[in-house]
Amino acid sequence: MAKPPVTIPELVSQFGPTLNRIPAHGWNAEVEPDRIVKTHCCFCGQQCGIQLKVKDNRVIGFEPWEDFPFNQGRLCPKGVKRYMQDEHRDRLKAPLMRKEGTGFVPVSWDEALDKVAGEIKRIQQTHGPDSFALLGGASLTNEKAYLMGKFARVAVKTANIDYNGRLCMVSAAAASKKVFGIDRAANPWSDIPLARAILIAGANIAECAPITTNYLWQARENGAKLIVMDPRITPIARNADLYIPVRPGGDIGVFNGMLHIMIERGWINREFIAQHTTGWEQVEETVRKYTPEYASRIAGVPASMIVKAAEIWGPASTSFLLHARGIEHHTKGVLNCMAAINLVVATGRIGREGCGYAMITGQGNGQGGREQGQKCDQLPGGRDIENPEHRKYIAGVWGVPEESIPHKGLSIIPIFEAIHAGKIKGLLAISSNPMVSLPNNSYIREAFEKLEFFSQIDFFMSETARHADVVLAGSLMEEDEGTTTNVEGRVIHHKKVVDPPDDARVDWKIICDIAARLGQAGKFTFDSPKEIFDELRVASKGGICDYYGITWDRIDREYGVCWPCPSADHPGTPRLYEGNKFNHPDGKAHFQPVEWQPAAEEADGEYPIILTTGRVVSHYLSGTQTRRIGALVDQYPQPLCEMHPQLAAKLGIAEGDFVKVESRRGSVTVRASVVKTIRPDTVFVPYHWPLDRAANNMTVRAIDPISNIPEYKICAVRVSKVPEPHDAIAELEMEAGGVR
Amino acid sequence: MNGAETMEFFIDHSRCIGCKACVQACEECDTHRGVSLIHLETIMRPDSVQTAPQVCMHCEDPICAQVCPADAIKKTPDGVVQSSLKPRCIGCSNCVLACPFGVPKYKAEINQMMKCDMCYDRTSVGKRPMCATVCPSGALTFTTRENIERTRQGMAIRDWQFGGETVRTKVNVLVPRNVQKITVTIEQIEATSTNEYDVANLLLGD
């Protein structure tokens, strides 16, 4: 069915989101914890170390973990208040079954799991194995990500599994693989303060990776020059040496323009290029026409800024490039990343102290979640599902015939297109909230409504879970144990802090239980996440992301271990490409020539303004967790539309006015925030909210042909002043999608 | 922590990113759990993203204590100016009006002034204050002066001039090397709009 069984306001009154404001055991400071558990924050790819205080199997507070080297006790507001997602009144504590007109009713695990397995079998028998799809997520532990990939190929036997890392890291991943043959940040964060020039392209570090800020400022104390490219003055940009207010989608103008100037002024390393790279001639040819003037027209900034950027980056003795979704969320996302990385390779400043680059992972396990085989085209260890050798190896690990492993399936947007086309009839999702996070949201909602069966594993009734026939009450990060891989490629250990409440279960057990009902109990005999990790280690052995030498014990002893780590006596690899050894068969880095191209939908006469979307510091992704934590909601309670005073004046809009932001696909009505810190041709709306406050109502369903990432950063909108809305959705609390 | 080292509080406003980790963490400190006492000021959002954290500066000769008619504000021998003492505070708000940094706040629900006490429960047992421990930008730091001098370009000072009033604080602020003292004038306080961070201007070029 996949339609909400009752109205949205009724579901909100039953399941929230509501706000948790008071810790378990109250604000009382006299309560002594039974235990203090060293673990990690679950919000974002930095994976900061944190200690959670526990009393009577309840999380009652936190304490900084100053010994963990990556963040040394530092946290952002999400980390500080993360513990308030525990003991939450919205927490799902039993499996639920949809009942038309009533809502959701609790059922036994047997009934819920029988229903899910029965529907998988029924749909596959009627419409074929690939008619049932799975969605995983990059907030899952490595163990669960691995399990989802195996579950898809061995138990469900569908080709169609993908994950929400498709919305996050795939452009960066594809670009890094093309140039270097490995998809991972090239350097540990300790290299950042040693760089003399730092280029930050499309990364709102202050809000999306706050603890990286200290690394940047430390670099500046050491004399580094900082360049920031962003259509908005972010808190980092305010104090940059050079801020480039690049037009959304104009990044290649800056990168190719910089390279053009660097060639002209002799700021490239021709010896390194000759010995360790291929493809330079084509790059040199391509950037020839990117004179500062030509580049300036593409970038939408004065040519002098591009020249200054080249003057900082070109002659620097050491340098570090950081990029994130700002350049990646484009139909040319892979091209953007490659053009940026060309600036690194052309100078030969990689693979040594203070020299390199990194993509900043967004989701909790943004790095590890993309390595273990829950992508539509991938097997564990970062292996290729179409490579016969890779298939054979994994078939051996799983004890299945190679030919039984499905081939490449659909990525997440094509999965929803196949649902529309009637080719996919059933869906099981975990760690994913497409009703907030996918572009062109009305199209996504229509897809859910077309499904014959939908089940969601979740800890809260997310906007997507409301569409489910069966909701399986799973586990929060702190209710289970496992590993994640942080932004540096460092594998770290999330400890189990408390048990799941009441009848909720740990996710991995739910997946194994469904596998058993699909007749594959023998392949899913795990008794603990540690056993899953041990199988993952073997499955990754010899792959690009080799975890074989990493054990939970080593992680605890060494504050994490960076992959590749092929054996127990291997120290791990914090810095890739030392000695200029790159991971292509020829051992070289492969330059990729990049030509600028327009976005799928540029501003035009009818929709004359560019909308760009992003995050705010107090919320995480689709807000399922952070829109339930009072302190974080208070900090940024509802989405605002940021616009420049020049644009606001033209539209007759003043600070705080209600405005309708409207694209060809949908709209939101939110309040205006009139600020000089954004380009006058661009508006910004953060995306963490649902329904009539969802920025993704407007965004375009266009994807990068290589990475399949959606173009969240550019679509065409018009903006107009409107009266305060008073419909039923507007009247909801702000955390539920209302507006004030 | 080495007992021989003196740990001090340092604020570097240029590092602040306005994330409010300090505000959220302050509320978790055991002496005043549930009440956040640090202030995070957004300077002028229409013009800039600039923000500034404000902890109690712990004046050597605290004005808040001087003006308190009930003698409710005490300075401990280690130089920390404590929050008001419950039995003494009469909720008159003299301190609120007198503090040049705007730190003390009157809490009507308890008819008492509360302010930052540098996490006395933590700092008095060798831990760092909550805000300066979690601050992800290093805008708030609790460390030795030697460490600051070694790792920062700015200079730590603690002398202030408010009109005719000279104030020396326990808490340091980091300023450019040529600055000896921070002089605050009425003109500065009244200064309002800036176009320094106007993207439209930046796009016009040099």
pLDDT tens-digit profile of A335-350? 999 999 999 999 999 9
Enumerate the residues of chain A whose CB falls inside 8 A of the CB of residue B133: 64, 66, 73-74
Q: What is the interface pTM, i.e. ipTM, of the complex?
A: 0.96
Joined together, the tokens standing for residue A455 give 């089940």
* A630-669: pLDDT as tens digits: 999 999 999 999 999 999 999 999 999 999 999 999 999 9
d(CA B182, CA B174): 10
Residue in A66, A221, A238 nearest the CB of B50: A238
Encoded amino acid at A304, one letter: S
User: Quick one: pLDDT band at residue B194, thresholds 50, 70, 90?
Assistant: confident
Domains of chain A: 21-85 (3.30.200.210), 103-168+365-487+498-543 (3.40.50.740), 170-359 (3.40.228.10), 609-736 (2.40.40.20)
Output the pTM of the full model. Answer: 0.97
* B125-172: pLDDT as tens digits: 999 999 999 999 999 999 999 999 999 999 999 999 998 899 999 999
pLDDT of residue B2: 44
pLDDT at residue B1 tops 60: no
Asked if B49 has any chain A CB less than 8 Å from its own CB, the reply is: yes
Joined together, the tokens standing for residue A277 give 């790279």
Enumerate the residues of chain B whose CB falls inside 8 A of the CB of residue A617: 17-20
Residues 537-576 of chain A whose Cβ lies under 8 A from any Cβ of chain B: none
* A64-91: pLDDT as tens digits: 999 999 999 999 999 999 999 999 999 9
pLDDT of residue A1: 60
Indicate the Cα dihedral angle A166, A172, A177, A178, nearest 10°. Answer: 110
| Closest C-alpha among A224, A296, A230, A285 to residue A258 | A296
d(CA B65, CA B167): 14
* A271-298: pLDDT as tens digits: 999 999 999 999 999 999 999 999 999 9
Task: Break chain B into its structural domains and give their ranges.
Answer: 7-62+118-195
* A564-597: pLDDT as tens digits: 999 999 999 999 999 999 999 999 999 999 999 9
| Closest C-alpha among A739, A627, A601, A616 to residue A684 | A616
d(CA A40, CA A37): 10
d(CA A663, CA A717): 4
User: Quick one: pLDDT band at residue A30, thresholds 50, 70, 90?
Assistant: confident
Asked if A253 has any chain B CB less than 8 Å from its own CB, the reply is: no
Asked if A645 has any chain B CB less than 8 Å from its own CB, the reply is: yes
Enumerate the residues of chain B whose CB falls inside 8 A of the CB of residue A646: 200
pLDDT of residue B111: 95
pLDDT of residue A220: 97
pLDDT of residue B115: 97
- The residues, any chain, with a CB within 8 Å of residue B180's CB and separated by 6 or more, are B157, B159
* A419-443: pLDDT as tens digits: 999 999 999 999 999 999 999 999 9
DSSP string, A73-91: T---HHHHHGGGGTT-TT-
**Contact predicate B63/B167, CB 8 Å:** yes
Interface test with A, best of B1, B131, B133, B199 (most A CBs within 10 A): B199
Respond yes or no on whether the N-terminal peptide bond of residue B62 is cis (omega within 30° of 0).
Answer: no
Strands A609-614 and A682-686 come out as parallel
Mean pLDDT of chain A: 98
Asked if B129 has any chain A CB less than 8 Å from its own CB, the reply is: no
What are residue A455's DSSP bridge partners?
A428, A470
CB-CB under 8 Å, B205 with A303: yes
- The residues, any chain, with a CB within 8 Å of residue A607's CB and separated by 6 or more, are A601, A662, A663, A664, A716, A717, A718
d(CA A596, CA A257): 11
Asked if B176 has any chain A CB less than 8 Å from its own CB, the reply is: no
DSSP string, A249-296: T-HHHHHHHHHHHHHHHT-S-HHHHHHHEE-HHHHHHHHTT--HHHHH
User: Quick one: pLDDT band at residue B80, thresholds 50, 70, 90?
Assistant: very high
CA-CA-CA-CA torsion sign (A181, A183, A184, A187): positive
CATH of domain B7-62+118-195: 3.30.70
d(CA A20, CA A13): 15
pLDDT of residue A135: 98
d(CA A54, CA A31): 10
pLDDT at residue B4 tops 80: no
* A125-169: pLDDT as tens digits: 999 999 999 999 999 999 999 999 999 999 999 999 999 999 999
Enumerate the residues of chain A whose CB falls inside 8 A of the CB of residue B129: none
d(CA A687, CA A42): 19
Indicate the Cα dihedral angle A24, A29, A30, A34, nearest 10°. Answer: 50
